[in-house]
Amino acid sequence: MNLILFGPPGAGKGTQAEILINKYNIVQISTGDMLREAQKDETDLGRKVASIMAKGELVTDEIVIGLIEKKLTNDENEIGFIFDGFPRTLAQADALGNLLDSIGQSLDHVVELYVDDEKLVQRIIGRFTCSSCGELYHKITKPPKNEGICDVCGSKDKFNFRQDDNEDSLKIRLLAYYRDTSPLIGYYHVFNKLRKINGLGSVDEIQNKIRNFIKKKAEELKLDFFDLIKQK
Ligand code: ADP
Ligand code: ZN
């Protein structure tokens, strides 16, 4: 099964993806994580990516599609993938269709998590993670019980703030989402792949809604005229 988790920054894609990969035994592909990993290399590419991401702009299609191509061809025997933060442009969406085709797979679902802007800003400004175990915190809504110490793994002073989780970068990230990425809602709608889910609610509630969508057969959702479109 191949699934895209779609939505603005802060919608909860990463959180839901992590639960889904364990349930369905599929591989998570987060281009954000892959690009943050690429920054660790002291290469020209790493430095270029770091400066684009810190500003909140999109990394070029060429770089991102190149990373995905490598990953999919390496892992072509996996039973499926969950894409989180990819595709983000129409060119990336087309490339994904072709790449899945080339490894004999296809896209099953696109889940859109929608959350209003005000809530996204609240969630993102002030969030941080434990770099040892990955637990997510928030200054106001979920501070650690003891300052500086992770509730889950007990690590001390290992908290990590993302460089692009500041107001200026977030504005640009949201703009990039509405300008470049949100047209994909229409794109996947005509392929009859899109399922919309309200991203406000508990992690479990949203997880259950996603699983219910996955269970529904495509036929139940299909409208006649979609048959006219060749599905990728
Ligand atoms: P978020 O969804 O919260 O913005 P991500 O980790 O998905 O977080 O992305 C962080 C940054 O990484 C983006 O602002 C962008 O600079 C870069 N990035 C991630 N995925 C892509 C992509 N598919 N295409 C272009 N840039 C990307
Ligand atoms: Zn921890």
Rounded to an integer, what distance in angstroms lies between the CA atom of residue 186 and that of residue 37? 31
* Per-residue pLDDT tens digits for 95-114: 999 999 999 999 999 999 99
Rounded to an integer, what distance in angstroms lies between the CA atom of residue 77 and that of residue 74? 8
Atom number of ligand 1 nearest to Cα 10: 3
pLDDT band at 41 (very low <50, low <70, confident <90, very high): confident
* Per-residue pLDDT tens digits for 50-83: 999 999 999 999 999 999 999 999 998 889 999 9
Distance of CA 82 to the CA centre of its chain: 9
Residue minimizing CA distance to atom 6 of ligand 1: 32
Q: Tell whether pTM > 0.75.
A: yes
The one catalytic residue in 88, 123, 193, 209 is 88
64 Cα to the center of ligand 1, angstroms: 10
Atom number of ligand 1 nearest to Cα 87: 23
pLDDT band at 232 (very low <50, low <70, confident <90, very high): very low
85 Cα to the center of ligand 1, angstroms: 6
Whose atoms come closest to the Cα of 31: which ligand?
1
Known catalytic residue at 23: no
58 Cα to the center of ligand 1, angstroms: 6
What b/e string do you get for 213-230 counting C-beta neighbours within 10 Å, with b at 16 or more? bbeeeeeeeeeeeeeeee
